Amino acid sequence: MMQKFRPYIFIFLAGASILSARNYASFAGGFLRMGASARAMAMGSGFTAEIDPGFAAYHNPASMVYLTKRQLGFSHHFLPLDRRFMVANISIPLPPSASVGLAWVSAGVDNIDGRNSAGEHTQYLSTSEDAFIISFAQKILPWFSAGLNLKILNHQLPMNTMDLAGKGMGMDFGVFIHPENGPNLAFMVQDLSSRYQWKTEKIFERGKVYVEQFPTLYRLGSNYTYKNVYLTGDAGVVMNGNELLGYTIRIGGEYPYLDHYYIRGGLGNGRMSVGVGLDWSLLKDKDGRLDYAFVFENPAGAAHIFTYAFSF
């Protein structure tokens, strides 16, 4: 009975994702909620229960243990409004039942028009946000694993005369159920206790320490293959302490063509996206993947994401 209704569940999630709330977009740490790989973003970013080659820990650190080879991934986002975003990641299996990973997520805005109190142009400024992520996952049972991301956070805010930096720590926690047959089921807590700490005495006469908390996301995801289309999605809530900020519903699909090519589409994070992918061989058969995603962001415009993942 569940198999009969599962396709309709994904159709319902696709419709609901268009209406999902985004009241949390202005809160701290937004660059960690943008997405990572082109494959994930083309499919709506609902990868909580997906094992994404090259970027597994970003979506759910517990999924890393099901990668049998070392994975190296690079993703570059071409964004409108002088924004920049990139991700680099490596995942390494630790036989027989563990895995570790390192990642760097960097975002920023360039060409900001700096002006003084008289309104005169001074210089062009840039702001940046960076997260350095250490990941660890352990297989507890052959079909069940848990994982943790530890994040070192830095936010550089430009001023005309000096730079102000916010620093902090944070973490993600996930569990992953990967049965031998049937769909995956996974749960993820993103940005648990993540925060920036700002020391403002350099710019204010009576400066103080200001703590800027990230919202915490709780997500549940699964996947399903319907005929030749691979579907994946997740749903969750966004909390700021005890305050409900909104919810997320993300859904996407992938259609393989001639064994080496993929056509994708998805809805998630208030965005519509499409993309393509190619499996290719660099040193060994199908050891590389090149992906592209076109993401429409309203009202910012279109974003182009390119990703290369390599296994060795």
Position 259 in a domain:
no
Do residues 63 and 69 touch, judged by C-beta distance below 8 A?
no
Residues 184 and 221: their CA atoms lie apart, in Å, by: 8
- Residue 128's H or E segment, with its range, is strand 121-141
In sequence order, which ranges of the chain are alpha helices (DSSP H)?
A: 2-18, 38-42, 56-59
Question: For position 8, what pLDDT does the model report?
Answer: 54
Position 266 in a domain:
no
Question: For position 51, what pLDDT does the model report?
Answer: 94
Report the DSSP beta bridge partners of residue 238.
217, 246
Tokens standing for 80? 């409108």
Nearest to 19 by CA among 293, 251, 274: 251
Sign for the pseudo-dihedral over CA of 62, 306, 75, 42: negative
Position 264 in a domain:
no
Residue 46's domain comprises 2-114+122-253+272-311
Question: For position 81, what pLDDT does the model report?
Answer: 84
Question: For position 1, what pLDDT does the model report?
Answer: 44
Question: For position 112, what pLDDT does the model report?
Answer: 84
Q: Which residues of 87-113 are buried (b: 16+ CB within 10 A; e: fewer)?
A: bbbbbbbeeeebbbbebebbbbbeeee
Position 267 in a domain:
no
Tokens standing for 3? 């198999």
Domain count, the chain: 1
Per-residue pLDDT of the chain (312 residues; tens, 9 = 90+): 445 545 555 555 545 544 454 566 778 899 999 889 999 999 999 999 999 988 999 999 999 999 989 999 999 999 988 899 999 999 999 999 999 999 999 999 988 888 887 888 888 888 899 999 999 999 999 999 999 999 999 998 876 566 788 999 999 999 999 998 889 999 999 999 999 998 877 777 677 888 999 999 999 999 999 889 999 999 999 999 899 998 899 999 999 998 899 999 999 888 899 999 999 888 888 889 999 999 998 777 899 999 999 999
CA atoms within 13 A of residue 295's CA, in its CB half-sphere: 31
Position 142 in a domain:
yes
Position 194 in a domain:
yes
With 0-12 CB in 10 A as exposed, 13-18 as middle and 19+ as buried, what is 69?
middle
Provide the CATH number for the domain around residue 244.
Answer: 2.40.160.60
DSSP string, 16-48: HHHT---TTTTSTTGGGGS---HHHHHTTT--T
Angle at 176 between CA 175 and CA 179, to 5 degrees: 150
Residues 162 and 160: their CA atoms lie apart, in Å, by: 6
Tokens standing for 278? 């190619």
Nearest to 85 by CA among 27, 25, 158, 36: 36
Tokens standing for 132? 């350095």
Sign for the pseudo-dihedral over CA of 277, 110, 90, 225: negative
Residues 98 and 146: their CA atoms lie apart, in Å, by: 10
Nearest to 176 by CA among 91, 251, 234: 234
Report the DSSP beta bridge partners of residue 251.
233, 267
Position 262 in a domain:
no
Quote the pTM value: 0.87
